[in-house]
Amino acid sequence: MSAAALTYVLFRIFVSAIRYADHFLGERFDVPVIDLWRMSREWLENAGDKASEQLYMNVKPGDYRFFPVGQTDNSHLKYSGAMLYAGMIADGLKKLDEPYALLVENDPHIASAAVTEING
């Protein structure tokens, strides 16, 4: 099996410079690229600020004992955000066909999680 490249997930603070390096490397080494940056950006823009905020470690005081005063973190994901983006990656693997799609399609748990998490 050959390699594949995966772009960064988009932070809620939009930074586009990183993304082009991933596509350049994909072209340079002739490997497919799963553009998680584009997929996550589209999802975040469609979801809006309030919904997307819930995917990241933005917590109110008292929500988590590790963050008694709360925190604002638009980079690190909560479990729900990680599962959403994992579903996007699984969907990207499926679109690449064989051999990549086999990594997801042969595992019913991963395949069903991808559909569930992306579609809600």
43-85 pLDDT, tens digit per residue, is: 888 988 888 888 889 999 988 888 899 999 888 889 889 989 8
Greater model confidence, 17 or 30: 30
Q: Are 14 and 44 in contact (CB under 8 A)?
A: no
Stronger pLDDT, 61 or 24, i.e. the higher one: 61
Burial of 65 (0-12, 13-18, 19+ CB in 10 A): exposed
Overall residue count recorded for the chain in this entry: 120
Span 25-48, pLDDT tens digits: 778 888 888 888 888 888 888 988
- Which residue in 19, 32, 45 sits closest to 99, CA to CA? 32
What pLDDT, on a 0 to 100 scale, did the predictor assign at position 115?
A: 53
Give pTM, 2 decimals: 0.71
Please state, in angstroms and rounded to a whole number, the distance separating the CA atoms of residues 51 and 16.
Answer: 22
